[in-house]
Structure 1
Amino acid sequence: MTNQTDAVRTRSSVVSLMIALLAACLAFQLNASMLSPALVTMERELDATASEIASTQTVFFTAAALFTLFLPRLGDLIGRRRVLVGMLVVMAVGCVVAALATNVPMLFIGRLIQGVSGPVVPLCLIMLRAAVVDPKVYGTLLGVVTAVNGGIAGGDALLGGYLATNHGFASIFWTMGGVAVGAALVVRFLAPETMAEDRPRMDWWGSLLLVISVGSMLVALNELGKLADADLILVIVLAVVAVVSFVSFWKLEGRLDHPLVSIPQLKQRATWALSATSLLTLSGIFAIMNGVVPALAQDSSMNLGMSAEEVSLWILMPYALAGLLMGPLSGRLAATVGYRTMLRIGLGGTIVVLGLMVANVETASRLVLLLLSVAVGITYAGIGNIMLNGLGVVLSPKERPGSLPGLNTGAINLGAGLSFVVIYAAQTSFASESAGAGAGYVAALVTGAVVLVGALIFSMFIPKPVHAELR
């Protein structure tokens, strides 16, 4: 009877924790995706240019990437629930600032503040790992949490479009702020507090150097994304700052007793192989699904000429929905089939789908694009992305659970930025009046596939997460 009571109590606590974690992930996801259909409205209401509004989006994702590098580790030391609640509250403050914005600088500040919420998902996965021991249950729940982070089946974008059209862009930020406050309360009262067993002082100097290094590289990649309009001198200066900062970080971590990331950990395959795989995976696919394929669908010269709304309905929503439905299943399979095997299945499948896209570039069939988008949603969003995030948690050292998820998420964000540079450079180089627009799309897709082959090769070096699998 006692064992049954304990089991019921355990299930109840896991359900409460999942409600809290999903609320937090929902709040972050709205910040990341809800504004996409409202960018033109923001330009009009703030009397701004498209590039100015785009810069406010860039600062959010850049800030999110940088805070991810060290806040999960801070959660190890002072309490993960405390840090998560704090991030959600700060996110709500940023939403209020952005909602009250009367100009671009004020909106910029609001989005910068919102970026503090960047580590929500890795922190949630660490909290889940601390509460759920069973590999099958953890894998399934990991898939649910990470799938929500991949998009709410396009519903977030649709709601954002409705609010912007009928109530102005400020209404979106008020909605985000309300959800963030609600999520903070849910986390505070439903999630248990957890910490690492060993809690030394936080390595703030190491954190600062790593943030400067990764931040400089992210800004440099964003500048390179402008292609012909890029300021190459600025890019070179930022690259030098990034290298010098990382070298200083490496030397500092070797001298500290309790570093943010130890040198032995940096040299482990669990760190460099996973980070390289994440970097290359995002570099190969992110710009394809968030830029190239939607542009192909809207390109009248390719005989499709979809509207932006049609792109959402035929490509982006099915892609997100497929990932959302596949996530829990792939997480469950990871515990039995293996995280690395599932990752390679996802990467290999995505490469095959990109090959099929190349073969169908000249087609005018919406159905073909729909089916291929669903396929990528399954292989990448529903399998590959889930495994990359999961491996960052299950391969983390017990004494420093927040370090690897932070580094891995930093690699993911770097890859997303690098993707727009590499993929668009290939597309621009091959597209010409004589070759036609189709040649550019083919070059972009082939480049993405080649980069993903590199990710697949690096995935072979990722070690087995012994304690997270049943065999």
Structure 2
Amino acid sequence: MSELKEGGKSIVALMAALLVAIFAFQLNASMLSPALATMSKELNTTDAQIALTQTVFFTAAALFSLFLPRLADIAGRKKVLLGILVATTVGCIISALAANVTFLMIGRVLQGAAGPVVPMCLIMLHHRVTEEKRYTKLMAILTSVNGGIAGVDALLGGWLAEVGGFRAVFAAMAVIAACAIVLVFLFAEESTAKETPAMDWLGVFFLVVAMGTLITAINEMQKLASANWLYAGVLVLVAAVCFVAFWQTEKRKKAPMVSTFYMKQRRTWGLLLTTTLTMTGVFAVMNGIVPAIAQDPKYGTGLGATVMSFATLTPYALIGLAFGPVAGVLASKFGYRAVLRGGLIVTLVGVAAGFFVAAHPSIWGLVLVSVILGFSYAGTANIMLNGLGIVLSPEDNPGYLPGLNAGAFNLGAGLSYVALYAALNMFTGSSVTAGYTAALGTGLVLVVLALLASFLIPQPGSDE
């Protein structure tokens, strides 16, 4: 770990603080999944209401991610990160003490403030470690955690829910978030952007409303046949109007949240397009189609939920966590864009292998697909896309692109279920296997488009 020697213990301590902060966010995102059934039982409510609290958390995380990195550029990154962690801790405590779904909703919204923790930590690390090759390696270590802590977080959440109920899960989250507060306070340095104008709150308003209504529309579209398409259409229209208003606001502002000059550049739209297409192509494959094949008793392998997780999601997360630092070393030698494209090409191989598994389902086939996608997406493409959001940002506004990129990740994840499950349902009438194949084929096409879009991303450090 020669990369940690410069700066002595301060770099080691900073890495520890940032890792624990990312743990705090990741636990809020994934540790609760196995406890959802326990929550509906202990709060005497429906599974649908509990699922809605999850939707509220991820929507809040996406919206906070849009503007808090830019606010941190202006007000101070350490200060804002501490505020995020305090809000997250309070949200965990409220959720742990919640007597009903309403208070649980309030707690989950506050926990959603942790949404931009990963880009915030990467920006703070970039400010501290200015040598690009060293930064790239350390960035990959931080980002690899974001894919799930090797599946252990979900397993721990399930055990805590069984032993102490869902409140024990939130209590554990609160303890980790509190530890992150202490470590960030002690070991992180304060920093801001070179220019610190007043925050463009009008621009923030239009952008948040636009993205919020668009995400809500996508959530409605995911219901497919039972969706209220008129409602979804109205939301999309509102989102479009707010995006136009955001653009016009940014054109007129002397110190906009994001200048239209930057939004017109390939560093912005090239990266956002690639991120959205990548997520749309891959996310529902690993989080929906592969688990569906694994649990299908007639056309799949008929695994139970626990065995399915061990066979698919755990190796996917474990390989991603282990390979992330290797991807960082490769990026420091060959560049972010080359490693991203390599990851996308291998991702195509993984999705294509899914065709064979859909036609000839087996546990080992599912493991193989999960391992390939763990290497290629979780351990490579995901990390490179996050890293590009940092190194492509201009010096006078380093927070806007990581924030928008986080929004693209969330948007792509939602669109993935819409696109792939629409294909699945369209072809399931002929056979279930045909439905799985159509969904995987849709994902394959989208990853090809993402690969092509990656050639639009400029070289970090160029004028673009």
TM-score, normalised to structure 2, is 0.97
**C-alpha separation in 2, matches of 1:264 and 1:162:** 51
The aligned runs of 1:62-461 (5 Å cut-off) are 62-432=59-429, 435-461=430-456
Unaligned runs of 5+ in 2: none
- AA paired with 2:447? L
Q: Per-residue displacement from partner, 1:381-404 (whole Å, max 9, x unpaired)?
A: 000000000000000000000011
Q: Per-residue displacement from partner, 1:58-99 (whole Å, max 9, x unpaired)?
A: 110000000000000111111101100110010011111111
Note the C-alpha offset of 1:364. 3.4
Could you say what the CA RMSD is over the residues aligned between the two structures, in angstroms? Answer: 1.1
Answer yes or no: is the 8 Å Cα contact 2:300–2:358 preserved in 1. no
Answer yes or no: is the 8 Å Cα contact 2:341–2:454 preserved in 1. yes
Answer yes or no: is the 8 Å Cα contact 1:139–1:333 preserved in 2. no
Q: Per-residue displacement from partner, 1:327-374 (whole Å, max 9, x unpaired)?
A: 111112112111111111111111111111112212232112112101
Answer yes or no: is the 8 Å Cα contact 2:150–2:315 preserved in 1. yes
Q: Per-residue displacement from partner, 1:127-182 (whole Å, max 9, x unpaired)?
A: 01101122221111111110001110010001000011111001100110111111
Unaligned runs of 5+ in 1: 1-6
Give SS of 1:152's match.
Answer: coil
**C-alpha separation in 2, matches of 1:9 and 1:242:** 47
Note the C-alpha offset of 1:303. 4.4
Note the C-alpha offset of 1:466. 3.2
Note the C-alpha offset of 1:11. 3.0
Give SS of 2:7's match.
Answer: helix
Tell me the residue number matched to 1:34: 31
Note the C-alpha offset of 1:45. 1.2
Answer yes or no: is the 8 Å Cα contact 1:144–1:327 preserved in 2. yes
Tell me the residue number matched to 1:3: none
**C-alpha separation in 2, matches of 1:68 and 1:387:** 18
Give SS of 1:396's match.
Answer: coil
**Aligned CA distance change for structure 1 residues 252 and 376 (closer, same or farther; 3 Å):** same
Answer yes or no: is the 8 Å Cα contact 2:358–2:437 preserved in 1. yes
Tell me the residue number matched to 1:4: none
Give SS of 1:398's match.
Answer: coil
**C-alpha separation in 2, matches of 1:199 and 1:120:** 21
1:55 is the counterpart of 2:52: yes
Give SS of 1:301's match.
Answer: coil
- AA paired with 1:147? S
Between the two proteins, what is the percent identity of the paired residues?
52
1:465 is the counterpart of 2:460: yes
Note the C-alpha offset of 1:8. 5.5
**C-alpha separation in 2, matches of 1:281 and 1:303:** 26
**C-alpha separation in 1, matches of 2:204 and 2:329:** 34
**C-alpha separation in 1, matches of 2:6 and 2:245:** 49
Give SS of 2:301's match.
Answer: coil
**C-alpha separation in 2, matches of 1:170 and 1:394:** 40
**C-alpha separation in 2, matches of 1:198 and 1:65:** 25
Aligned pairs, number: 459
**C-alpha separation in 2, matches of 1:249 and 1:44:** 43
**C-alpha separation in 2, matches of 1:319 and 1:232:** 35
